[in-house]
């Protein structure tokens, strides 16, 4: 099978997806705007050919350059696991006659308003929502829905440009910050715990799913620099407290008629047990959550996805053995990292459970925490018992400190 993979070298986990395809027997063609010399070694080893284009965001030129370079090669699948390229992948499928999400279908996974309208029609509980494109219509929507509300881009990713607004004064302050966003969704604020429902799906049937718990929910973490956000991939996905979210996840996949690939859904569980849909993307989660799945089940999730794409089945065997926690750290101060406190003592206490440490070393410039969840690095750890996992995660969050100046 000939598979075209869009942007195989970026973001950070794309090389593993390229490898997963190659290890599943696919002949992998890559297309991106990175120079071939800048591709990670893993990508170069996994690709049969790489087409460098001047810009990934000019679909007409991408099509023309692919036609020239891949002349004589029939493409069987076109895949993109990066949110900004989902529509490009659909445009390429439509042009080259390749099965998968069409442009119209892919829009349901990019346009949050169209997505929720489709799910409303299917009887799935979504937040009350109105799409707006002007200040006046935003005020009218807020009046209709009532405070508090969430304002978010129609085609956004993650929690970028997303705001919780509880009063008229806050709305006046936030609206100028959204001037660069052409259309926004005004939504009912759902007060509850936030989870994911991530799948590898084959011809509309879910072959594997993962549930992760955000501690705290991303909107809070994005609004408070002092917080060390946590993402917990849960071992026990069959508990009664998650059953409603799991059922919703299956219902959403069916309602939106997703065929084959990775999906990443977010949903809420209120204090009264009601579950409410958040949003869904036709791609995997970011911030190394796919790596969490690998460590939680001790299996090659990247190859499992490749098998789903290439062979129409998942041959990789998996067992849910661990809860996996990722704790993202933000340095105090500005400038370069000067010191890290608490790392050695925590390593001594939890060392056998720590599986990944990406903390920036002293001398490295601090990252802008507003632009990346990964922030100044993370600690990833795992344990079969959830309470033990949470206790270790909280210790890392409170006892490990990074400083910059």
Q: Cis omega before residue 67 (within 30°)?
A: no
pLDDT tens per residue across span 42-79: 999 999 999 999 999 999 999 999 999 998 889 999 99
Strand partners, 402: 340
Whether the predicted pLDDT of 157 surpasses 80 = no
Q: Is the pLDDT of residue 159 over 80?
A: no
Q: Write out pLDDT tens, residues 213-245.
A: 999 999 899 889 999 999 999 999 999 999 999
Q: Determine the straight-line distance between the first and last CA of the chain, rounded to whole angstroms.
A: 52
Level-2 CATH architecture, domain 192-404: 2-Layer Sandwich (3.30)
237 backbone φψ class: left, alpha, beta (φ>0; ψ -120 to 50): alpha
pLDDT band at 161 (very low <50, low <70, confident <90, very high): confident
For residue 160, the model assigns a pLDDT of 74
Given a cut of 70, whether residue 312 has pLDDT beyond it is yes
Average pLDDT for residues 5-23, to the nearest whole number?
97
Query: Which is more confident, 162 or 285?
Result: 285
How many CA atoms lie within 13 Å of 312's alpha carbon, on the beta-carbon side? 5
Query: What is residue 71's predicted lDDT score, i.e. its pLDDT?
Result: 87
How far apart (Å, rounded) are the C-alpha atoms in residues 393 and 139?
A: 41
Cα separation, 382 vs 387, in Å, equals 11
Q: Is the separation of the CB atoms in 155 and 86 below 8 Å? A: no
CB atoms within 10 A of CB 7: 21
- Tell me the C-alpha distance between 189 and 165, whole Å: 9
Average pLDDT for 16-20: 98
As a whole number of angstroms, the distance between CA 69 and CA 52 comes to: 10
pLDDT, residue 174, reads 94
Distance CA 298, CA 45 (A): 24
Half-sphere exposure of 98 (CA within 13 A, CB side): 23
Residue boundaries of the structural domains of the chain: 2-107, 128-188, 192-404
Chosen CATH of 2-107 out of 3.40.50.20, 3.30.70.1050, 3.30.70.20, 3.30.460.10: 3.40.50.20
Mean pLDDT to the nearest integer, 190-206: 97
Record the pTM: 0.93
Q: What is the pLDDT of residues 338-378, one digit of tens each?
A: 999 999 999 999 999 999 999 999 999 999 998 888 999 99
Beta bridge partner(s), residue 240: none
Question: Hey, what CATH class is 128-188 in?
Answer: alpha beta
- When the pLDDT of each residue in the chain is averaged and rounded to a whole number, the result is 95
What pLDDT, on a 0 to 100 scale, did the predictor assign at position 66?
95
Cβ-Cβ contacts under 8 Å for 222 (sequence gap 6 or more) = 159, 162, 370
């Amino acid at each position: 099978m000939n598979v075209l993979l869009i942007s195989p070298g970026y973001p950070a986990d794309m090389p593993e997806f390229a490898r997963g395809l190659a290890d599943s027997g696919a002949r992998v063609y890559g297309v991106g705007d990175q120079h071939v010399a800048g591709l990670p070694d893993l990508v170069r080893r996994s690709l049969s050919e790489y087409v460098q284009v001047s810009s990934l965001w000019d679909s007409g030129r991408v099509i023309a350059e692919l036609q020239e370079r891949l002349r004589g090669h029939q493409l069987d699948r076109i895949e993109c696991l990066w949110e900004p390229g989902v529509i490009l992948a659909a445009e390429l499928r439509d042009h080259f006659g390749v099965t998968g999400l069409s442009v119209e279908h892919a829009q349901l996974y990019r346009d949050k308003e169209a997505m929720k309208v489709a799910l409303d029609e299917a009887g799935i509980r979504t937040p009350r929502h109105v799409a707006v494109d002007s200040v006046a219509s935003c005020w009218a929507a807020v009046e209709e829905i009532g405070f508090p509300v969430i304002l978010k881009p129609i085609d956004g990713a993650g929690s970028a440009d997303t705001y919780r607004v509880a009063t008229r004064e806050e709305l006046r302050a936030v609206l100028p910050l959204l001037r660069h966003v052409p259309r926004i969704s005004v939504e009912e604020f759902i007060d509850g715990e936030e989870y994911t429902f991530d799948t590898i799906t084959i011809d509309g049937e879910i072959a594997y799913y993962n549930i992760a718990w955000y501690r705290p929910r991303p909107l809070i973490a994005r609004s408070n620099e002092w917080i060390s956000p946590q993402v917990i991939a849960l071992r026990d996905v069959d508990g009664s407290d998650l059953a409603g979210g799991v059922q919703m996840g299956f219902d959403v996949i069916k309602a939106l008629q997703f065929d084959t690939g990775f999906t990443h859904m977010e949903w809420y569980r209120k204090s009264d047990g009601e579950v409410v849909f958040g949003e869904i993307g036709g791609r995997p989660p970011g911030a190394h959550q796919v790596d969490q799945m690998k460590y939680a089940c001790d299996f090659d999730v990247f190859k499992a996805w490749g098998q789903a794409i290439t062979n129409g089945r998942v041959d990789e065997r998996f067992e849910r053995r661990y809860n996996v926690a990722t704790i993202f750290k933000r340095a105090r101060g500005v400038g370069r990292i000067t010191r890290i406190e608490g790392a050695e003592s925590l390593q001594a206490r939890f060392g056998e459970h720590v599986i990944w440490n990406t903390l920036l070393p002293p001398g490295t410039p601090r990252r802008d925490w507003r632009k990346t969840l990964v922030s100044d690095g993370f600690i990833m750890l795992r344990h079969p018992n959830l309470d033990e996992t949470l206790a270790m995660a909280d210790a890392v969050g409170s006892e490990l400190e990074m400083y910059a100046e």
